[in-house]
């Protein structure tokens, strides 16, 4: 079994989320924060503002006029999407690297993260989740952050992990835990704690595969799980772990997701893949 201290020490080697993105993430998840406070935070950061304006003036948005300020950007794009762009911009560098242990090439984990965040946002809208919509988007985007560190250790242990998964019926995260001593959910939660994420965001990252029964009762965590499953079903940069996770059909019944609903979400995501890929190129 790998020395867990060797893994945990590598958390400090990850480029932390920029302070401004972290502040905006915190504000966006606080129901007591106003939209104007978030817009002001963005406007007070010249580098972030410049990058944001570049994205908003790209062909992806196709706005009728050139955006010249954060106020303009909020007016034409909407503050919700501005917050999402800021968060995505803050983590893009970390997530764009290839991960040999998970069979993911350069940019593939990022593609999966952004697509699952898009799906999670769509699910939140479908099922009337409005209070925590920024939390759901952020959690879907960051849920696999533990893979950024654990990937190299999975690569070293791939033969043992694959035997457990393919010959003994283990889920991939159970096999990680058995062979390495830790899975990417647990490590991701450690990263989230180190970076002072909210307790709820840490909880979702720790339980996004719903292996804990309490998480199966939690709507936000369930939506993140479902977004991840949908992306895997579509084969969107699923990697070697792919569909090697437990599927909890009773969870779908609990939130009234039918097979027809799943097909509709998959069709909608497929239709928007080209647009999602255009967005990915902006970071």
Average pLDDT of 145-170?
A: 92
In the predicted model, is pLDDT for residue 191 greater than 90? yes
- The tokens of 255 are what? 């939130």
The residue with tokens 């939390």 is 135
Residue pLDDT, tens place only, 122-154: 888 887 776 777 889 999 999 999 999 999 999
pLDDT of residue 64: 86
DSSP E strands, 45-110: none
Please enumerate, as own/partner, the contacts of 88-93 that have beta carbons within 8 Å and a separation of 24 or more: 88/114, 88/117, 88/141, 88/283, 89/21, 89/48, 89/51, 89/52, 89/55, 89/283, 90/17, 90/18, 90/20, 90/21, 90/22, 90/25, 91/17, 91/21, 91/141, 91/142, 91/145, 92/283, 93/15
In the predicted model, is pLDDT for residue 277 greater than 80? yes
Residue pLDDT, tens place only, 70-119: 888 888 888 788 888 888 888 888 888 888 889 888 989 999 999 999 99
pLDDT of residue 245: 85
Average pLDDT of 1-8?
A: 81
Domains of the chain: 4-280 (1.10.3210.10)
pLDDT > 90 fraction of the chain, expressed in percent and rounded: 31
């Amino acid at each position: 079994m790998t020395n867990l201290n060797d893994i945990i020490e590598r958390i400090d080697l990850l480029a932390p989320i920029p302070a401004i993105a972290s502040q905006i993430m915190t504000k966006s998840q606080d129901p007591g924060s106003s939209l104007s406070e978030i817009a002001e935070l963005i406007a007070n950061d010249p580098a972030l503002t410049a990058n944001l304006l570049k994205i908003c003036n790209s062909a992806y948005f196709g706005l009728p006029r050139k955006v010249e300020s954060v106020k303009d950007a909020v007016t034409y794009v909407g503050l919700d999407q501005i917050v999402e762009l800021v968060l995505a911009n803050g983590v893009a560098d970390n997530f764009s690297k290839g991960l040999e242990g998970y069979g993911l090439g350069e940019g593939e984990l990022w593609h999966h993260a952004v697509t699952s965040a898009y799906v999670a946002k769509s699910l939140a809208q479908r099922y009337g989740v409005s209070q925590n919509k920024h939390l759901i988007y952020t959690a879907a985007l960051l849920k696999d952050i533990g893979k950024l560190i654990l990937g190299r250790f999975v690569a070293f242990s791939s033969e043992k992990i694959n035997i457990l998964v393919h010959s003994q019926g283990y889920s991939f995260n159970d096999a990680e835990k058995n062979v390495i001593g830790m899975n990417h959910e647990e490590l991701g939660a450690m990263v989230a704690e180190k970076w002072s994420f909210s307790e709820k965001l840490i909880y979702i990252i720790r339980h996004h595969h719903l292996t804990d029964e309490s998480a199966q009762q939690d709507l936000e965590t369930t939506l993140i799980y479902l977004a991840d499953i949908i992306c895997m079903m579509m084969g969107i940069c699923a990697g070697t772990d792919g569909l090697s996770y437990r599927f909890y059909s009773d969870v779908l019944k609990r939130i009234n997701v039918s097979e027809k609903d799943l097909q509709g979400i998959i069709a909608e995501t497929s239709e928007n893949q080209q647009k999602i890929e255009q967005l990915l190129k902006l970071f």
